[in-house]
Amino acid sequence: MPENDKWFEYTVERELSNMAISGSITMEEYREAMFSKGGPAWTKALDTVGKQKAWKLAGGFLWMDFLPEGEIKARELQQDYYAYRDAGDLNTFFDKYPEFEARQQLWNWDDPEARMKYYMRSQVWNLYNELSDKERQYYSDEFGDLFKNAFLSKETRSYDAIPVETMAGWAKAMGGDVPEQPGYQLIPEAFEPMDEQLAYMSRQFDEQRAALFGDDITQLESLYYSIPQDNDDRMLFTEQAPRLVDYWEWKAMFYGDNPDFARMKLWEDDPLIYAPEYIQEQVWDLKAARARYFPNILQKQSVYYSIPKSERRAYRNANPDLVEYWDWWRGVKEDNPDVAPYLGNREDFFVKVNADQIADAYIVKDIDLTEWSPEINYALVNYHLAGGKLNKSARSYLHMQWSKTDQSVPFERWLEALRYAVDLTVTQE
């Protein structure tokens, strides 16, 4: 491109940055115009540059100068930029003044790779912010530590540490595009997109949850679980926030109808994570049935156990569905012995090993399972209840524990004794 043409393009791009800084166009409109060299924003910038040249030509004899609003604001922000830069805190500056990034791009106006990196960075943020909660979790894990530390984290963020090919791969995996630039070829790094059906269900879940229960329902749920389990404040909390109970019942029904999605929502501290799929689906079906046939029943049950015993008969008489639920729930557990342990409270899932449980328990009589991690306990429960296999990490951990014993019995013998020494408490709830 001839120098005169390149300089003219620079002045148009500078005007685009002024428009972004002044707020007359959005940052998204700015980025689109910068890459396409067309569209309404580009045309508007061309028109403004033409007018500026006319004004300068007409006012040259009167020493007139013409400074657009965005140019004035950019010059004011530049002083703040240098102050934040010298303090080593540019991330805070750009969080406070995102529009200044438009001006920063002029410093790289003849560097296609720098421009592409800036564009991809913006696109990744836009795409990521539009994701559902579960999609964000999936892509954070898929993209790895570089994404979590150099991109997401405010404390460790370092965009310069991320190759442009990696950023382009992130954008492409999340459904973005990689625009072409003359004289510059970019091959995105390969990442695995989330399954489309699961992504769709995840978005449906988030949208329905927000529409039915409000955007703050997850924060409300977090507040509830921050209260100790046996604290009466939990019941008071749900009495003051009944939509939280409604949300749990709706969620139980959603999980029952969408087991693949429910499986995706399992956390590492959930006992179900190590259970066979058929047990997982039975649990979700039964909890969905409880929500459908006995609405608000767990809240009533909490109230029942919180009142003095002398008042409970009157409460039962006033709430006959409570007795009906207890009979039904007891039958559910009796009819589904493999599922029953997973229908209780998570906190009560394990108890200390009972040395008299079986004849071989003396081998592991001094072991307290509550001192081991939840992951190991859940793996043992799966091994005990469903006859499943131990995963490699659990087996390795258990072998390490065995090596601390006197090793009077072989590891497999010790493991078998440990398996049958697991004592499960099946709670009513």
Q: What is the mean pLDDT of residues 63-89?
A: 55
**Cα 98 from Cα 94, distance rounded (Å):** 5
- 122 to each of 22, 152, 164, 250, how far by Cα in Å? 19, 13, 12, 36
**Cα 429 from Cα 426, distance rounded (Å):** 9
Please state the φ and ψ torsions of residue 77, each to the nearest 5 degrees: -70, -25
Percentage of the chain lying above the pLDDT 90 cut: 23
**Of 16-20, 242-246, 299-303, minimum mean pLDDT range:** 16-20
Write the pLDDT tens digit of every residue in 191-226: 999 999 889 999 999 999 999 999 999 999 999 989
String of b and e for 354-377 (b: at least 16 CB within 10 Å)? eeeeeebbebbeebebeebebbbb
Burial of residue 139 (CB within 10 Å: 0-12, 13-18, 19+) is buried
- 217 to each of 66, 291, 297, 368, 373, how far by Cα in Å? 52, 18, 20, 37, 30
Query: Given a cut of 70, is residue 227 above it in pLDDT?
Result: yes
Write the pLDDT tens digit of every residue in 323-337: 899 999 989 888 888
Contact 415, 398 (CB under 8 A): yes
Amino acid at 6: K
What angle, rounded to 10 degrees, do the helices at 242-257 and 277-293 form? 130
Sequence-ordered strand ranges (E) for 46-194: none
Q: What are the boundaries of each domain within the chain?
A: 1-109, 111-194, 196-343, 359-420
Write the pLDDT tens digit of every residue in 93-143: 666 666 555 555 554 545 667 777 777 887 888 889 889 888 998 999 999
Q: What is the pLDDT of residue 366?
A: 67
Query: Given a cut of 50, is residue 183 above it in pLDDT?
Result: yes
